[in-house]
């Protein structure tokens, strides 16, 4: 599928090993998530529109560039919060809007509980941030919300994606671009990605109990 980009990079393979390892402590897990997000974010922002401007170096004037589009980061609470700082390093002027979703453990369907998107003019491009693209339900709900808001272009950045989630999202929103560090094998009977990394939110925020 042309809208799915699996990013191949030696550092991604190394950082993926860190987040997959069940013995990785939360501090190291969070650091690896940030590094993976940063690398994926570089790929996802390659086509940001820019305009030329004039700047002055210590030597002379020369041509510079500025990002033309308005863009926003939309982390899906709560795990997506762990990806925000890396993206803000890349695009410091990005707006950040949070959408709260949780998975009903009986149905594996997303339930929305928080939405603070403003009523005014939307951003031109939005990046959905969620470490795991599993069933695709949360991403589809988020896409619908952003399209209702009026966002023209939407991309998703994930750490690990399942084929089932990719298929659902690509079917319901064929114009959504997906950037992921790896596509895993399948979802198990509990709708967890296999081999995956477990619950990303619990591991980021150290709430495994």
pLDDT value of residue 117: 80
CATH architecture of 4-205: 3-Layer(aba) Sandwich (3.40)
**CA 58-63-65 angle, 5° bins:** 110
The predicted-structure confidence for 109-147, as pLDDT tens digits, reads as follows: 677 777 778 777 888 999 999 999 999 999 999 999 899
The torsion angle over the Cα atoms of residues 30, 3, 88 and 69, rounded to 10 degrees, is -170
pLDDT of residue 104: 65
* Segments of the chain scoring below 70 in pLDDT: 1, 102-109, 209
Q: What is the pLDDT of residues 100-109, one digit of tens each?
A: 776 666 666 6
Residue 76 and residue 80: Cα distance in Å, rounded?
A: 5
Catalytic positions: 103, 107, 199, 202
């Amino acid at each position: 599928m042309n809208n799915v980009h699996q990013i191949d990079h030696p550092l991604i393979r190394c950082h993926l090993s860190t987040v997959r390892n069940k013995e990785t402590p939360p501090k190291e897990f969070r650091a690896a998530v940030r590094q993976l997000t940063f690398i994926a974010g570089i790929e996802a922002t390659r086509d940001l529109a820019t305009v030329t401007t004039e700047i002055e170096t210590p030597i002379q004037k020369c041509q510079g560039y500025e990002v033309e589009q308005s863009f926003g980061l939309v982390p899906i609470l709560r795990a997506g919060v762990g990806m925000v700082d890396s993206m803000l390093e890349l695009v410091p002027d990005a707006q950040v809007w949070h959408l709260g979703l949780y998975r009903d453990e009986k149905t594996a369907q997303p339930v929305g509980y928080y939405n603070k998107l403003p009523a005014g003019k939307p951003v031109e491009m939005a990046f959905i941030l969620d470490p795991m693209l599993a069933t695709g339900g949360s991403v589809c709900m988020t896409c619908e919300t952003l399209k209702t808001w009026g966002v023209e272009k939407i991309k998703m950045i994930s750490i690990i994606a399942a084929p089932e989630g990719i298929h659902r999202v690509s079917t319901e929103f064929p114009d959504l671009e997906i950037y992921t560090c790896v596509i895993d094998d399948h979802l198990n009977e509990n709708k967890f990605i296999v081999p995956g990394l477990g619950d990303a939110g619990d591991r980021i925020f150290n709430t495994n109990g």
